[in-house]
Amino acid sequence: MSVLRHLIKRGRYFDSVVLMQLQRQLADLPGIREAGVVMATDANQELLLESKLLSGRLADARPDDLLIAVAAETSVVGDEALGSFDSLLRGRRTQAAVEYRPKSLAVGLQQLPDAGWVLVSVPGRYAADVARKALGAGRNVFLYSDNVPLEDEVDLKATASEKGLLVLGPDCGTAIVAGVGLGFANHVRRGPVGLVGASGTGLQMVSSRLHALGSGVSQAIGTGGRDLTREVGGSTALRALDLLAADEETAVVVVVSKPPHPEVATRVLARARAMDKPVVIQFQGESLPGRSLANVHFAADLEDAATLAHQLTGAAAGAGGSRPVGQGALRGLFSGGTLASEALHRFEAVLPVVSSNLEGHRAARLTVSQTPEGHAILDLGADEFTVGRPHPMIDPQLVVEHLERTAADRTVATILVDVVLGSGAHPDPASLLAPAISEVLGFKDRDRAVLVLIVGTDEDPQDLEDQRSRLEAAGARVFETLGEVVDAALDRVETEAASAGQASSGLEGPLKAVNLGIELFHTSLVEQGAECVHVDWRPPAGGSDRLAAILERLED
């Protein structure tokens, strides 16, 4: 049976790493079976109760008090352990005990006025306010703190977006900025690959693999685990892509994340596709829309993402800019149901709104009686289109009719058609399709293209090359693989272009920062050669929300 003893130190705040170290030292003392060293918040008291280190709640303990609790073999051992606590504290003091440490962010920024970053690792209930003040002072924020309310994250990132700043986090554990690792980043050489990640350990895995492959990292931007949710909307990820698009040191970009919300994934992929650089995407557990979509490449796992990025480095297009994209809607008229489904899977990955009569997709459902609007992929071989008439592979007349309807829709700029040859198919589909394509392209006041996917061999009875030449003579662009025709279509379709952003990215070196919270982060930055001021932060007003609100009003 253990004897429980506890001690309260009034108004003694320490960061979580220091508390962990002190707890381990206490637990290592002879006769101590278990120890807990925490700030005396309600949540921490609950944890000590569950761990059987407290026999009941301590009504006289305040959130800014330090609470030390031990389970000892005897009461004498327990009392001696608590009595040794002050000497343990003295033993861990370093030069920081005698050098001046500012007590607030404002004073810290006065001490290092050209700091571009503020690192925040204070308890979650205070973190948003500290981050908000950092943004107000025009600084980028590395927000390690967890338990930050979602509404605060949305607000912080909206503010950062307005100011052209970055908020990495909340709960961001890893970043590399101007060659300096923030949080738990690995030490990797600088190189041509820029990383964006909603997964901290994912960033570490990819950056470490790149280093092992002989490559390196230009920047690694952690977004926080909730950034790609629907509520946050990928705010930091999109800003990061813009910055890496303009970063001359970055030749290839890698994006890694746990499964994002489908709408946000589409937004991120569209922004990536608009970049004039290869982009590798690894959304963990998500089905891949093919191996690539133009400059966007899909990785099966984290190691594959690093390998792909390394391979693409030599073929990178160069820095800055966005690829030109066309205007208008896409209309796919397919006779092959599987081809239509595969094309839709790829298109809906990067186009925000697509409709279709196909089932099993995110696309809005179309019925046979509905007139498509905007981007649409139709499987004309589906049952609802073939009632009382032959399948369009046997008789392409149904495709011709839809071509004629689409020609009248001024919003459609790109039409995609498949032509499937072989036994049982129409003996000469070009005889019907070529005149219809010529008519579609005959409107001189419209920027319109017809893209044809032809499926067949040189031994098919329809004569593959003859079909191709006649379709091309009618003005169509003819392709033999689905990937090629999808890429060509996406090049013409209006997508979200990369934002120009603001001039100051926060990624330029040398890195200078102010650190609030975990002292270990300050030590790490200094060891890497960065300038950093550590703020001796304490909970405002001793942890009293009421008094803190009063002080805040007085400051305002």
Same domain, 347 and 470: yes
Question: Rounded CA gap, 434 and 451, in Å?
Answer: 12
Q: Residue 544: its pLDDT value, please?
A: 57
Domain annotation covers residue 535: no
Question: Rounded CA gap, 116 and 511, in Å?
Answer: 7
Distances (CA, A) of 61 to 37, 80, 290: 13, 22, 58
Question: Rounded CA gap, 46 and 56, in Å?
Answer: 9
Question: Rounded CA gap, 340 and 335, in Å?
Answer: 8
DSSP string covering 496-549:
PPPP---S--S--SS-EEEEES-HHHHHHHHHTT-EEEEE----GGGG-HHHHH
Domain annotation covers residue 17: yes
Q: What is the DSSP letter of 92?
A: H
Q: Residue 547: its pLDDT value, please?
A: 57
Domain annotation covers residue 324: no
Q: Residue 552: its pLDDT value, please?
A: 61
CA 39 to chain centre: 33
Question: Rounded CA gap, 529 and 231, in Å?
Answer: 37
Question: Rounded CA gap, 307 and 147, in Å?
Answer: 35
CB atoms within 10 A of CB 248: 9
Distances (CA, A) of 522 to 291, 319, 346, 451, 526: 42, 33, 45, 57, 6
Q: Residue 463: its pLDDT value, please?
A: 95
Looking up tokens 């133009």 gives 294
Tokens of 381: 């071989």
Q: Half-sphere exposure of 468 toward its Cβ, with a 13 Å CA cutoff? A: 13
Distances (CA, A) of 355 to 33, 268, 317, 424: 64, 20, 33, 30
User: In this structure, what is the dihedral angle of CA atoms 131, 135, 140, 146, given to the nearest 10 degrees?
Assistant: 20
Strands 531-535, 66-72: pairing is unpaired
Sign of CA dihedral 265, 271, 273, 275: negative
Global confidence as pTM: 0.76
**Amino acid identity of 183?**
G
Domain annotation covers residue 110: no
Total tally of structural domains belonging to the chain: 3
Query: What's the CATH code of the domain at 297?
Result: 3.40.50.261
Element (H, E) at 282: strand 279-283
Give per-residue pLDDT as tens, 135-193.
Answer: 999 999 999 998 899 999 999 999 999 999 999 999 999 999 999 999 999 999 999 99
Q: Give yes or no for a contact between 102 and 111, defined as CB atoms under 8 angstroms apart.
A: yes
Looking up tokens 């492959």 gives 213
Q: Give yes or no for a contact between 341 and 379, defined as CB atoms under 8 angstroms apart.
A: yes
Same domain, 229 and 257: yes
Element (H, E) at 159: helix 150-163
Question: Rounded CA gap, 221 and 518, in Å?
Answer: 20
By residue range, what is the domain housing residue 83?
3-93
Domain annotation covers residue 323: no
Domain annotation covers residue 113: no
Question: Rounded CA gap, 454 and 507, in Å?
Answer: 47
Q: Residue 410: its pLDDT value, please?
A: 86
Tokens of 177: 């900025």
Same domain, 195 and 340: no
- Of 255, 287, 313, the residue at which a domain comes to its end is 313
Strands 296-298, 140-143: pairing is unpaired
pLDDT tens series, the chain, 556 aa: 789 999 998 877 777 778 888 888 899 999 999 999 988 888 888 989 998 999 898 988 887 788 999 999 999 999 999 988 888 877 665 444 446 789 899 999 999 999 999 999 998 889 999 999 999 999 999 999 988 999 999 999 999 999 999 999 999 999 999 999 999 999 999 999 999 999 889 999 999 999 999 999 999 999 999 999 999 999 999 999 999 999 999 999 999 999 899 899 999 999 998 898 999 999 987 777 778 888 999 999 999 999 999 999 976 544 344 444 456 899 999 999 999 999 998 898 888 788 998 887 777 788 777 888 889 999 999 998 888 899 999 999 999 999 999 888 888 999 999 999 999 999 999 999 999 999 999 876 678 899 999 999 999 999 999 999 999 999 999 999 999 999 999 888 855 555 544 445 678 889 999 999 988 899 999 999 999 999 988 887 555 566 555 556 656 5
Same domain, 266 and 347: no
Same domain, 255 and 356: no
Tokens of 469: 């030449």
Domain annotation covers residue 165: yes
Q: What is the DSSP letter of 322?
A: B
Q: Residue 221: its pLDDT value, please?
A: 97
Same domain, 36 and 178: no
Strands 252-257, 279-283: pairing is parallel
Same domain, 383 and 451: yes
Tokens of 520: 């270990």
Same domain, 364 and 488: yes
Q: What are phi and psi of 132, to 5 degrees?
A: -65, -40
Beta-strand ranges (E) seen in 407-448 are 412-420
Q: What are phi and psi of 265, to 5 degrees?
A: -60, -45
Domain annotation covers residue 524: no
Question: Rounded CA gap, 11 and 162, in Å?
Answer: 38
Same domain, 237 and 333: no
Question: Rounded CA gap, 335 and 420, in Å?
Answer: 8
Q: Residue 499: its pLDDT value, please?
A: 55
Alpha helices in 234-374 (DSSP H): 235-246, 262-273, 302-313, 337-350
Question: Rounded CA gap, 301 and 288, in Å?
Answer: 11
Same domain, 296 and 358: no
Same domain, 222 and 301: yes
Q: What are phi and psi of 356, to 5 degrees?
A: -165, 160
Q: What is the DSSP letter of 433?
A: H
Query: What's the CATH code of the domain at 54?
Result: 3.30.1360.30
Residues 6+ apart with CB under 8 A from 112: 512, 513, 514, 531, 532, 533
Same domain, 366 and 305: no
